[in-house]
Amino acid sequence: MVAASQIAPDDVICDAPAYCVCTFEEWRKRVCASCFSLASGRLTVRCPNCEHAFYCSEQCRTRHRIEGSVGSAPHGRVCAALRRFAPLRKYGKSTANVLRLLLEALACRADATDAADAADTADGLFDALVHHPPHWSQPKEAQEWARVSAAFRTLLSRCDWWHAPPPSDDELFALVSRLDSNIFGCFVRDDGAIFGHACYLQAATFNHSCEPNCVAMRGVARMRIVAQEAVAAGEPLTISYIDANRPVHARRKDLSDHYHFTCDCPRCTAEATNGAVRTKLTYGGGGALRRDAAGKDAPRRGGVASPLPKAPPPPAAATKPTRPWFEALA
């Protein structure tokens, strides 16, 4: 994604609706499956058939079963499959969560019936997402994926909207990889507590940088991309997929584990070359991007680098508060 024209700080570049949304297994009993509101305790209203979806009210339960919500298909479409979802949980929370999200995505795709126009729809954008072939380090990993695929195909066979041939192991891996490489966390609070993940197709076209010129403002229903500095026409537009304030080795590990690439941006290269130098990004008023550095002789406490020095206050002319590397939408 590159800028087609000059972009000013704080310009909204993208306001992407959620393509699919799913609550994590460990949060599903506290987050309403319809309005995604967070309860202080366990929700008491739930689907009586699958007992997988929980709601804050009977109104939300009824509406979700018939109409669905943003990024979530009508529950009636997936209820029968969710009744047989338990066997997939034994393969770990991460696998169960992404397969649960894939089920929502496939149910939402079921409405697209005109294949000729698919390239112009959200489904066409999803099919164009980058995915990665499997790289099994041991034969047992491929065998386990075959078992996971078989269990998921059993789920699809229970869905009356699934009319295509059952996906092969490789086809299913490609679908999962598209999601796994392009999903973002949904935030409950400003402190970054994550209750689920979502795929925002337009936002997925932005590349990563550890010194991004844009910031992602994340909500459940949509993701808004806002410029943090002036961007010239033809310049790449970037966001941070991860917490860019972490040390370089932690950032690279996160990107390798979740997005399957190694970041060689100038910031990562400089920090990796001189490991004692760590930088911290803060966003000042008016979109000004600042970087602070801790020098080689920074004091250490208990073997861990002491907190980095705080960023200087924004210029007097700035009126907007400092932003973190992400921002939660109201």
Who has greater pLDDT, 123 or 211?
Answer: 211
Please tell me the predicted confidence (pLDDT) of residue 307: 35
User: Tell me: the pLDDT tens digits for 142-188?
Assistant: 999 999 999 999 999 888 888 888 899 999 999 998 888 888 887 66
Which segment of 170-179, 214-223, 246-255, 269-278 scores lowest on mean pLDDT? 269-278
- Order of strands, edge to edge, in the sheet holding 194-199? 20-23, 194-199, 183-187
Please tell me the predicted confidence (pLDDT) of residue 317: 40
The answer to whether residues 28 and 168 belong to one domain is yes
Residue 274: which CATH number? 2.170.270
Please tell me the predicted confidence (pLDDT) of residue 263: 87
What pTM, to 2 d.p., does this model score?
0.76
Per 3-state DSSP, the chain is made up of helix, strand and coil in percentages (nearest 5) of 35, 20, 45
Q: Give a yes or no: residue 286 inside a domain.
A: yes
**Do the Cβ atoms of 221 and 71 come closer than 8 Å?**
yes
User: Tell me: the pLDDT tens digits for 261-279?
Assistant: 888 888 888 888 876 455 5
For residue 129, give its domain range: 19-183
Token representation of residue 226? 């806002």
Mean pLDDT of 254-263: 83
Q: Give a yes or no: residue 60 inside a domain.
A: yes
The answer to whether residues 42 and 162 belong to one domain is yes
The answer to whether residues 304 and 172 belong to one domain is no
Hey, CA dihedral for 115, 116, 120, 124, is it positive or negative?
A: positive
Token representation of residue 90? 């034994």
The answer to whether residues 204 and 173 belong to one domain is no
Please classify residue 127 by burial: count the beta carbons closer than 10 Å to its beta carbon, then call 0-12 exposed, 13-18 middle and 19+ buried.
Answer: middle
pLDDT score of 327 more than 70: no
Which segment of 48-57, 141-150, 272-281, 291-300 scores lowest on mean pLDDT? 291-300
Three state DSSP letters for 28-93: CCCECCCCCCECCCCCCEECCCCCCCEECCHHHHHHHHHHCECCECCHHHHHHHHCCCHHHHCCCH
User: Tell me: the pLDDT tens digits for 69-114?
Assistant: 888 889 998 999 999 898 898 898 888 999 999 999 998 887 655 4
| Domain limit, last residue, from 123, 151, 183 | 183
**Do the Cβ atoms of 239 and 259 come closer than 8 Å?**
no
Residues 6 or more apart in contact with residue 263 via CB below 8 angstroms: 208, 210, 251, 252, 255
21-47 per-residue burial string, b: 16 or more CB within 10 A, e: under 16: bbbbbebbbbbbbbbbeeeeeebebbb
pLDDT-derived band at 305 (thresholds 50, 70, 90) equals: very low
Q: Give a yes or no: residue 195 inside a domain.
A: no
- Domain total of the chain: 2
Alpha-carbon distance 105 to 21, whole Å? Answer: 8
The answer to whether residues 54 and 173 belong to one domain is yes
| Alpha-carbon distances of 6 from 2, 70, 233, rounded to whole Å | 11, 32, 5
Q: Give a yes or no: residue 188 inside a domain.
A: no
Please tell me the predicted confidence (pLDDT) of residue 135: 80
For residue 198, give the 3-state DSSP assignment.
strand
The answer to whether residues 43 and 157 belong to one domain is yes
